[in-house]
Amino acid sequence: MSSNAMLEPEPTPIVACTISRDVSNFDMLIEDMETVMGNGWGDLTFADAQVYFNQPDSDLLEFVAIAIDHASENELATIAALVSTAKEKDIKVILVAKDVSPSVLHQLLRLGAADFIPYPLPNGELKAAVERIRALAYAPSRTAIQVQPETIETVQPQQPQGSYAGIILPIHGLAGGTGATTFAVNLAWELANSGSKQEEGPRVCLIDLDLQFGSVSTYLDLPRRDNVFALLSDVDTMDSASFMQAMVKYEEKLHVLTAPFEMLPLDMLDVSDITRILDTAKSNFDFVIIDMPSTLVNWTETVLNACNLYFAMIDLDMRSAQNAMRFMRLMASEELPAEKLRFALNRAPKFTDMNGKNRVKRMAESLEIAIELQLPDGGKPILQAGDNGVPLAIAAPKNLLRKEILNLASSVLELKSSKQAVQQ
C-alpha cells in the first residue's frame, strides 16, 4: 500500500441507500439523507438495487428508502420484489411516497415496509423514521420501549367474547378543535365507570379513527402500540383476538384502540375494512365510541350507516355553521340517515347569557337542525386534564363539562336498556 493511500481516510461504509426511478425527482430526500447519514449512503435505481441486493456489500445495509411517485407505479412488481427481498435480508424499508395511490402504499406496507413518509418530506421526518427503525432493531425488547407495563395491560386472548351487540357512537368534529376528542374520551370513560358495586359496568371501547392526528392516546396518556399499524394495514385477516390484542386498557376499565404511531392516509382503510372493524368491535363490547376524523372520507358513510347515533360537534361560530350546512346538504343529497345525527354544541353559552342563547337559536333555525346537546365551557381544567392524560372524572370531577357528559352517559345507558328491552 503506498503511503498516500495510507493517509487517505477510510471510505465511509454505505449503510443506507435510496432506491428510486430517478433520485433527482426527490431533491429533499437527497438533502435529508445527507443530514441524517452523512456520506454513508448511496443511491440506486430499481434495476441497480436488484443487482446490489445479491452482492455481499448489501448485508451492511441498515435501511433503504424506496422513493416512489405516480410514474413508478408501473414498476410495482419490481418494487414489491425489492421490499420482499429487503425484508428477507433484514434490511428495513422506509417508503417515500409522492402522489402514490393508497392501494399501492397499502400493498407495499403489507409486504413488510417498516415505515412510510409522504413527499415532500415534512421537516425532520426522515430522521424520525430512521430513529424509529433503529429503536426497533436495537431495542432488547420491542415492547419494553413502547409499552409501560404499570399502566398498560395486554388484553388476554381469552377475553374476546364475540357475543355482544354493541351500540356504536361516533363523534365527528365538524371543524378542527371543536372538542370531539375531549367529548369522546370522557363519554367513553363515564360509560365504562357506570357500573355499581353489585353490578359490573358495561364493556366499553374507544377507537381512534382520526388516523393522522388522533389524540386519544395523548388525552389518556397511552402509548401507541406497534400492532395497531399492523392491524390496520391488514384488516382482512383481523379477528377478535388480534383486534383485542392491539388495544390497550386504561385503568382496567376502558379498552382503547389508539391511532397508529405513523401518520397514515385516511383512505388507507376502505369500506370493507371499516365494516370489519365495526363488526368486530360491536361483537366484543356494549359500547363502541369512535373518534372520527374531521375530514369526510370514503368510509364516513359506512360509519353513519352502522352506528346508532352520530354526534356532530360544533362551536358557536361561522366556521362550524358553514360546515354543518354543507354536511346537512351532503346527508340529503346522498340520502344518508340524518335521523341518527345529534348536533352537540361545545362551549355553549351559559344559561344567563341571553344574547348567546339567541345566537344558538338563530344558528339552529338557519341550519334547520335541532341542537339537542349543549356542552358548557369547562375553562382551563379541560386543557390541563388533556395535557396530563387524565379523564375529567378524575382530574376535575366537579367541572360543569364533566357533569354534562356524565348526564349524557346516563341517557346513553338508557338507550342500551331500551334496545335490550325491544330485543327481549
Ligand X SMILES: Nc1ncnc2c1ncn2[C@@H]1O[C@H](COP(=O)(O)OP(=O)(O)OP(=O)(O)O)[C@@H](O)[C@H]1O
**Residues contributing to the site for Mg ion (CB under 5 A):** 180-181
**Which of 114, 386, 392, 393 is in the footprint of ligand X by CB under 6 A?**
386
| Site membership for ligand X, residue 98 (CB under 6 A) | no
Binding string, 387-406, against ligand X, x = CB under 6 A? --------------x-----
Q: Which residue, among 417, 420, 412, has the nearest Cα to 170 in the 3D structure?
A: 412
Question: Nearest to Mg ion by Cβ — which residue?
Answer: 181
**Which of 182, 217, 280, 323 is in the footprint of ligand X by CB under 6 A?**
182
Would you tell me the crossing angle of helices 27-37 and 125-138 to the nearest 10 degrees? 50
- Residue pointed to by grid coordinates 392491524: 231
**Which of 51, 135, 370, 383 is in the footprint of ligand X by CB under 6 A?**
383
Strands 254-257 and 248-250, by their bridges, are antiparallel
- Alpha carbons within 13 angstroms on the beta-carbon side of residue 122 total 8
Closer of 94 and 180 to ligand X (Cβ): 180
Q: Which residue, among 210, 79, 226, 135, has the nearest Cα to 127 in the 3D structure?
A: 135
Give the three cell numbers for residue 151. 399502566
Closer of 181 and 217 to Mg ion (Cβ): 181
Q: Tell me how far, at minimum, the Cβ of 179 lies from Mg ion, in Å.
A: 8
Binding residues among 343-372 for ligand X as defined by CB under 6 A: 346-347
| CB-based contacts of 51, cutoff 8 Å, min separation 6 | none
Binding residues among 208-237 for ligand X as defined by CB under 6 A: 210, 213, 215
Helix (H) or strand (E) holding 412: helix 400-423
Distance CA 208, CA 218 (A): 11
Taken as a whole, the chain contains a residue count of 424
Q: Tell me how far, at minimum, the Cβ of 180 lies from Mg ion, in Å.
A: 5
Task: Tell me, by CB under 6 A, how many residues bind ligand X.
Answer: 22
Q: Tell me how far, at minimum, the Cβ of 380 lies from ligand X, in Å.
A: 8
375: three-class secondary structure by DSSP: strand
Q: What is the DSSP letter of 249?
A: E
| Residue 397 site contact among ligand X, Mg ion, none (CB < 5 to 8 Å, cut-off depends on kind) | none
Binding residues among 161-180 for ligand X as defined by CB under 6 A: 173, 176-180
Give the three cell numbers for residue 342. 345529534
Contact set with ligand X (CB under 6 A): 173, 176-182, 210, 213, 215, 294, 346-347, 375, 377-379, 382-383, 386, 401
